[in-house]
Amino acid sequence: MAIDALSSKKAGALALIATAAVSLTSIPAVAHPEGQADPQSAPVRAGVQITPDAPKLPQGLSARAWTVADADSGDVLAAKDAHRKLAPASTLKTLFAVTVLPKFSAGAVRQVSAGDLEGVGAGSSLVGIRKGKRYKVADLWQGVFLRSGNDAVHVLASMNGGWDATAREMQQTARKLGARDTTVKSPDGYDAPGQVSSAHDLTIFARAGLADEDFARYCSTARAQFPGPKGTTEIENTNRLLVGSHGLSRYPGIIGVKNGYTTNAGNTLIAAARRGDRTLVVTVLNPQSNALNAVYTEARSLLDWGFSSAKKARPVDSLHIVHAQHAAYAHGAGPGAVNAGATDIGGRGGSWYSAVAPWAYGAGSAALAAGIVLVLRLRGRGRTTPPGGTS
């Protein structure tokens, strides 16, 4: 998948601290049929859903589909063709992470075989995984989230039982999360016949991921050290709203999540940000504008609109019930379960998620009145490696 962003060099930059807090509360059930807005409050014009009393939407929105959702309540504040099935590009890696991340402890080590790297698509974005080298699982996830490395996805999928098995499990996870628009063919998001998702479903995946501290940490990391042929090298996140590059400033309160690009999908982006006590998730798919950075500028304008409109715009839809649980629990697997082929040298058994997930999962737990606030303190370094190819 072709990455929409190239890394820029910023030698000697000060460490960045990204602080993100996601408050997790039970989500009220959808009061209208799945995928439809309340016809009394959400007129649809040219595929756009917005309540009559909501502030006017930003000008210049050209994306084929988009959503603005409150991460805490699950309310969709506005949307355009939210259930339109489109190629997702690397934003599908959010579902991959929700499915696979809880299975392997961050300190587990994988010695990469030739078989692990078989089938990486031509032109894929690569973080630089080398056959025969040993990598910690944490390094592989940094490669997935920061560089959108399809090579890292292939290694993790091999650990998870193989490419096809992982695709099937991702499909099951999507259904368990209530995401009905998604068909998984290639776990890394690489263009494949029949592979689709929607702005609605991708927002669900991001929201489910942000409930896990490791997902939230990885998706909001601007820069990290990655094992290279000679020691370590610094990699920079390709999300331009997160790092502030290519003529864009870092978005205030940005948490991160995932961007992507393929020929079929165009530019895609899921962006989460927090201001005060409110966290919003905006998903933008395939802007038709030829403007530079269109996917980022449209996401920025929708985030701005969402924060200014959150107390004025009534919901037009609701995301399905997603609690502070990692999707693997729906498959009976707990965090820290290490697959054969990986050596456990540091588990996740003591994590916040381990304590929360068993009681947090389950439709109908609307009695959960108190939210759980997750505060992340992240540091990034200021130098980057040369840009990779595609994602």
Q: How far apart are CA 223 and CA 143, in angstroms?
A: 11
Q: Is 90 an annotated catalytic residue?
A: yes
The predicted pLDDT at position 373 comes to: 32
Q: Residue 103 — left, alpha, or beta (φ > 0 → left; ψ -120 to 50 → alpha)? A: alpha
In a domain, 175, yes or no: yes
Tell me how far apart the terminal alpha carbons of the chain are, to the nearest angstrom: 4
In a domain, 10, yes or no: no
Q: How far apart are CA 275 and CA 254, in angstroms?
A: 9
In a domain, 5, yes or no: no
The predicted-structure confidence for 98-137, as pLDDT tens digits, reads as follows 999 999 999 999 999 999 999 999 999 999 999 999 999 9
pLDDT at 45 over 60: no
Residue range(s) defining the domain that contains residue 305: 16-380
Burial-class residue 292 by CB neighbours within 10 Å (0-12, 13-18, 19+).
exposed
Q: Which of 26, 124, 125, 148 is catalytic?
A: 148
Long-range Cβ contact pairs of 288-293 (< 8 A, separation 24 or more): 288/62, 288/63, 288/64, 289/60, 289/62, 291/60, 292/246, 292/247, 293/240, 293/246, 293/247, 293/248
Nearest to 208 by CA among 87, 59, 361: 361
- State the chain's mean pLDDT as an integer: 78
The predicted-structure confidence for 217-229, as pLDDT tens digits, reads as follows 999 999 999 999 8
Tell me the one-letter amino acid at 8.
S
C-alpha 175 chain-centroid distance = 17
Number of domains forming the structure of the chain: 1
Q: Is 105 an annotated catalytic residue?
A: no
The predicted pLDDT at position 331 comes to: 39
63 phi and psi, to 5 degrees?
-65, 145
Q: Residue 353 — left, alpha, or beta (φ > 0 → left; ψ -120 to 50 → alpha)? A: alpha
Q: Is 93 an annotated catalytic residue?
A: yes
Q: How far apart are CA 143 and CA 147, in angstroms?
A: 5
- The answer to whether the CB of 294 falls within 8 A of the CB of 287 is yes
Give the CATH number of the domain where residue 117 resides.
3.40.710.10
In a domain, 357, yes or no: yes
Confidence of residue 321 (pLDDT cuts 50, 70, 90): low
The predicted pLDDT at position 311 comes to: 83
Nearest to 66 by CA among 284, 261, 273: 284
In a domain, 7, yes or no: no
The predicted pLDDT at position 310 comes to: 77
Three-state DSSP class for residue 372: strand
Average of per-residue pLDDT across 331-356: 33
Q: DSSP secondary structure string, 235-248? A: EE-S-HHHHT-TT-
pLDDT at 315 over 90: yes
The predicted pLDDT at position 46 comes to: 64
* Length of the chain in terms of residues written: 391
94 phi and psi, to 5 degrees?
-65, -45
318 phi and psi, to 5 degrees?
-140, 140
Q: How far apart are CA 304 and CA 58, in angstroms?
A: 9
Burial-class residue 248 by CB neighbours within 10 Å (0-12, 13-18, 19+).
middle
- The answer to whether the CB of 287 falls within 8 A of the CB of 24 is no
The predicted pLDDT at position 16 comes to: 31
Confidence of residue 176 (pLDDT cuts 50, 70, 90): very high
Helix or strand (DSSP H, E) at 356? helix 352-360
- Which CA distances in Å does 326 have to 176, 207, 243? 11, 11, 27
Average of per-residue pLDDT across 311-329: 67
In a domain, 6, yes or no: no
Q: Which of 93, 103, 136, 176 is catalytic?
A: 93
pLDDT at 97 over 80: yes
The predicted pLDDT at position 242 comes to: 98
The first and second tokens of residue 145, run together, are 């989230």
Q: Which of 90, 197, 198, 351 is catalytic?
A: 90
In a domain, 105, yes or no: yes
Return the minimum-mean-pLDDT range out of 195-199, 284-288, 329-333: 329-333
In a domain, 2, yes or no: no
